[in-house]
Amino acid sequence: MNSRVKLLGHPLHPMLIVYPLGLLSTAVIFDLLFMANNNEVFPIVSYWMITAGLVGGLLAALIGLMEWLAVPNDSRAKKIGMWHGLGNLVIVLLFAGSWWLRTGVEDNVPSTTAFILSLLGFGLALVTGWLGGELVYRLGIGVDHGANVNAPNSLSDKEASTTGTGRTSKHAGRTTR
């Protein structure tokens, strides 16, 4: 199923999710580093990583919702996409709670509750990341209909199924050229 929202020929949602995922995950690592060596810079960095991760997460969620709306109803992909999206919403809420608990605290040092919220968000991200992988790699959501190992560059005006060979073969249930 082709992606609806693209940038330079590629689906935008997977491009956007790397930022919040990386920022929020790294915030947890900086919290752990702070706990290990008490360096006052780490919780400040973690706070701002969470801030940026939340903004990026909301943008990725908006694009993800647009993509999910195009998935056929009553399909396995629609159900998995729903759990993927709801799980990611919970992640954003967990990190938003952690962010809120750090706001106004001297040097943004996380309380135990703030750290646990971030840690839960980090753990849930492993599950929702797997669900996202299931959508793309198993169910083909966001994958060009004509995807194949000899597809032309996505910046060209040619469809992915156009290779110039003129030959068509069957492989894994997908017609490729």
Number of domains comprising the chain:
2
56 and 19 in a single domain? The answer is: yes
Could you tell me if residue 1 is inside a domain? no
Tell me, yes or no, whether 160 and 134 share the same domain.
no
Domain match, 88 and 155 both: no
Q: What is the pTM of this model?
A: 0.82
Distance CA 97, CA 23 (A): 16
Q: Are residues 96 and 25 in the same domain?
A: yes
pLDDT interval class at 76 (50, 70, 90) = very high
> Is 89 inside any structural domain?
yes
Task: Name the residue range of residue 167's domain.
Answer: 148-177
For residue range 124-170, what is the model confidence (pLDDT) as tens digits? 999 999 999 888 888 887 777 766 677 677 777 777 675 554 444 44
- Round to whole Å and give the CA distance between 52 and 50: 5
